[in-house]
Amino acid sequence: MTNGVGLTTNAHVDFWVSDTSNFRMVYDLGQTEVIGSLLFAGYDQIQNATGKYEFYVFNTFNDASSWQNDPVAVYDNTANTTLAQKITFAPNQKPSGRYVGLKITDVSVAGSDLCARIAEVGVYGSYTVRTDITSADISSLHNSNLIKGKLPSFISRASDSSRKEEYMTNGIGLDANAHVDFWVNDTDNFRMVYDLGQMASVESLLFTGYNLIQHATGKYEFYVFNTFNDASSWQSEPVAVYDNTANTTLAQKITFAPNQKPVGRYIGLKITDVDVDQNNQCARIAEIGVYGSYS
């Protein structure tokens, strides 16, 4: 079901189940991802195409309870039957999570058929991440940074160091004494927002932490909002989620696929794991970059 082959002879897998079996499967992505699109390919014979199915995205998976959530996509293939479908989520409305669930609620458009046939299931992200960012890269990106020289319009805690918030957008990162300290815990959900002043299409985002790898930032999320309300905006889906704990690097540049660029006026950053050293409770940020074009 994940070998890249579908809609050819003998490409599908058979599961002898009825509609009421609620045939289900879950893929573990290994870490939280923002999902840009999903693919379902059934049998290559239209008379036995899959009838109806649902995709789910879970942060944690529990067989007994997870399927109570709302699905992220529901597809009814019975009226205008096709062999395969690709579902693409709107910018700023992409589901995020670690587990992707598929539930078949009508196994076949043929009424008397008791077999779910699946040739291929696809889960696609919406961005790529570069992790080999250097101090020179940060410097050369500075002129195109939409938040160049700006201060956050909202921050959940002010800087605790002598270097203040303006150091996060001055084009200097990964050098000695380039970072700003915020003494926060993971559970503080340290947050900040930059106001671009007008709507923009966001092509890339940069996050640069401390220049010492043993105190790199652990996990963070970027958001893009049309309007910003501190109480409610953070309930929306992040546009990017990065887990730096497994293959730790100093800085990351996230670039969205051409048709997956988020659009909005406010850029939010939330730090959910301040330091890869779990005994250390300080978020250290050297540079934040937002690249794209005003709409």
Structure tokens belonging to residue 210:
């401390």
Q: Which residue has the tokens 């299409």?
A: 201
Rg (CA), the chain: 22
Gap between the Cα atoms of 128 and 186, Å rounded: 25
Which CB, 167 or 182, lies closer to Ca ion? 167
Instruction: Please give the helix or strand (H or E) that residue 241 lies within, else none.
Output: strand 240-243
Which CB, 161 or 170, lies closer to Ca ion? 170
Q: Compute the least distance from the CB of residue 285 to Ca ion, in Å.
A: 8
Cα-based angle 141, 144, 148 (whole degrees, multiple of 5)? 90
Which residues in 42-93 belong to E strands, given as ranges? 52-58, 73-76, 84-88
Which CB, 171 or 233, lies closer to Ca ion? 171
Interface ranges with Ca ion (CB under 5 A): 3, 5-6, 119-120, 167, 170, 172-173, 286-287
Q: Compute the least distance from the CB of residue 232 to Ca ion, in Å.
A: 30
Q: Compute the least distance from the CB of residue 12 to Ca ion, in Å.
A: 7
Bridge-based pairing state of the strands 52-58 and 73-76: antiparallel
Q: Compute the least distance from the CB of residue 131 to Ca ion, in Å.
A: 18
